[in-house]
Amino acid sequence: MSSAEQLVEGLKLLVDEGKVKTDRDSLVTFGKDWTKIYEPTPLAIVFPKSTAQVQAIVKFANENRIGLVPSGGRTGLSAGAVATNGEIVVAFDSMNQILELNENDRTVKCQAGVITQQLQDYAEDNGLYYPVDFASAGSSQLGGNLSTNAGGIKVIRYGMSRDWVAGLTVVTGKGDVIELNKDLAKNNTGYDLRHLFIGAEGTLGFITEATMKLTRKPSDLTVLVLGLPDISNTMDVLQAFQQKIDLTAYEFFSHQAMQHVLRHSDISAPFESEAPYYALLEFEAVSDQVMDDAMAIFESCVEKGWVVDGVISQSETQANNLWRLREGISESISVHTPYKNDISVVVSKVPAFLNEINEVVTNHYPDFEIIWFGHIGDGNLHLNILKPADLPKEAFFAKCQQVNKWVFDIVEKYRGSISAEHGVGLVKKDYLEYTRSAVEIEYLRGIKRVFDPNNIMNPGKVIDL
């Protein structure tokens, strides 16, 4: 047998029968995420069912000095879950059990492979609410969400994934199993190691279980879509509404983005008037006073020239259709091989930041269609550049590498982040210095060496040792 064959046979001894795959379809499917830049070349795919099996796989990898790449729902956009160098892919699809609900504490313990929507539905069935939400909720897995500290559409009200973690069980790069924080609300006993593993993209170890906090379900969610004459009006409108109403979401998208959704779906434009930008607001209309306040603010925004038109949902169906204008963007542009950037600045700097980037990209590549949307209420923008139909993929991505340099120069100027919620992976690794100082990066390397001295945990992602 070859060395590769021996490794595969050894791997089969660690998990249940049939839980190691080496066929071509499995290698391609589980060896990559949504990024289309890198070709997957994993050695094998392994599907553990327990923390003990994950621990055995990590110890096996250390003994054989072979890399491990975590695979969740494979919805990532930074190539954090792409196996490019003969690694073993550890897929968490079989660790998909919701283990325990504590109604008094409003917490639920889950395995890492639980689907986001599965958790949301479970919470709702028990009269509670898990608020972290995004377009990929139907396929993204909890472990992947935590490993990239995913945010999504409700951050303005509910925060990021890390804000909902009561405790974690992890397997470190050394093969140690650690229970972090023991689900405590108060635990002031030194460094909180939970937060090292949240957002680490599997480079320190693998999250195998998580205890997630839940909250009450919001009531009478109402959606308002507004047409804006200028991107700066997003901040005017946000400030006006936040003075009186607690928003659960504040999103924006460009007219071009909406046009792709309308062509791709069976929904209609929100109103007859057109605007270059649109804002989507969501709030709890729990009383007539809240609705009166919302309409009064809307009318004031129109009078001040910040809004050209608007529509407010009158039913749950209409609210869902208005949300589709925003949530359908990624799917509708996917056929155009978009090059995506997930960037952020503090909220007050968003208009100037967006305009400067838009001007630079448009001036250099006037033939590229630029699609803007994002979680503007928390300063997170998604820049999507669509590939022209007659331009080969390789040439398009090469041009976009230059776009990265221009965009990240502006990110650095505005003291922003090159990755707001999608992680670093392979795509952003070479640009980490635009957000992190050299001193910070060296401390990151030091942390990596402590937890993963043999560099087997998602090697080559985020930072190099």
Q: What is the mean pLDDT of residues 393-420?
A: 91
Distance CA 330, CA 22 (A): 31
Same fold, 221-330 and 337-438: yes
Q: Report whether 86 contacts 44 (CB < 8 A).
A: no
Q: What is the mean pLDDT of residues 431-442?
A: 96
Count of residues in the chain:
465
Residues 6+ apart with CB under 8 A from 110: 97, 98, 99, 119, 142, 209, 210, 211, 212
H-helix segments, 176-232: 194-197
Distance CA 121, CA 110 (A): 13
Structure tokens at 12: 């089969």
pTM above 0.85, yes or no: yes
Residue spans per domain, the chain: 3-91, 98-213, 221-330, 337-438
- At 457 the three-state DSSP class reads strand
Q: What is the mean pLDDT of residues 116-129?
A: 97
Residue 409: pLDDT band with limits 50, 70, 90? very high
Distance CA 205, CA 70 (A): 9
Smallest Cα–Cα separation from 440: which of 429, 452, 432? 432
Please, what is the average pLDDT of the chain? 94
Residues 6+ apart with CB under 8 A from 18: none
The CATH code of domain 3-91 reads: 3.30.43.10
423 dihedral zone (left: phi>0; alpha: psi -120 to 50; beta): left
Q: What is the mean pLDDT of residues 30-43?
A: 90
User: What's the CATH architecture for 337-438?
Assistant: 2-Layer Sandwich (3.30)
Question: Which region among 101-105, 149-153, 282-286 has the lowest average model confidence (pLDDT)?
Answer: 149-153
pLDDT digits (tens, 9 = 90+) for 345-404: 999 999 999 899 989 888 888 888 999 999 999 999 999 999 999 999 889 988 888 888
Structure tokens at 103: 């109604």
pLDDT (0 to 100) of residue 2: 57
pLDDT digits (tens, 9 = 90+) for 71-100: 999 988 899 999 999 999 999 999 999 999
The number of helices, as runs of H, and strands, as runs of E, in the chain is: 15, 16
Distance CA 342, CA 150 (A): 12
Distance CA 102, CA 78 (A): 35
DSSP lists the bridge partners of residue 228 as: 277
Residue 337: pLDDT band with limits 50, 70, 90? confident
Exposure string of 153-170, with b = 16+ CB inside 10 Å and e = fewer, is: bbbbbbebbbebbbbbbb
For 129, which DSSP code? B
pLDDT digits (tens, 9 = 90+) for 240-298: 999 999 999 999 999 999 999 999 999 999 999 999 999 999 999 999 999 999 999 99
The rounded radius of gyration (Å) of the Cα atoms in the chain is 23
Strands (DSSP E) along 143-289, which ranges?
165-172, 177-180, 205-213, 221-228, 247-254, 277-284
pLDDT (0 to 100) of residue 345: 96
Smallest Cα–Cα separation from 147: which of 85, 76, 90? 76
The yes or no reply on domain 98-213 and CATH 3.30.465.10 is: yes
Instruction: Give the number of other CB atoms < 10 A from CB of residue 204.
Output: 22
Which residue is it, tokens 């990559």? 32
Which residue is it, tokens 């396929």? 139
The yes or no reply on domain 221-330 and CATH 3.30.70.2190 is: yes
pLDDT digits (tens, 9 = 90+) for 200-232: 999 999 999 999 999 999 999 999 999 999 999
pLDDT (0 to 100) of residue 450: 98
136 has a pLDDT exceeding 90: no
Q: Please give the share of the chain, as a percent, with pLDDT higher than 70.
A: 100
Q: Report whether 73 contacts 140 (CB < 8 A).
A: yes
Q: Report whether 52 contacts 41 (CB < 8 A).
A: no
110's enclosing H/E stretch is strand 107-111
Instruction: Give the number of other CB atoms < 10 A from CB of residue 52.
Output: 13
Residue 1: pLDDT band with limits 50, 70, 90? very low
- At 275 the three-state DSSP class reads coil
Instruction: Give the number of other CB atoms < 10 A from CB of residue 286.
Output: 13
Distance CA 48, CA 54 (A): 6
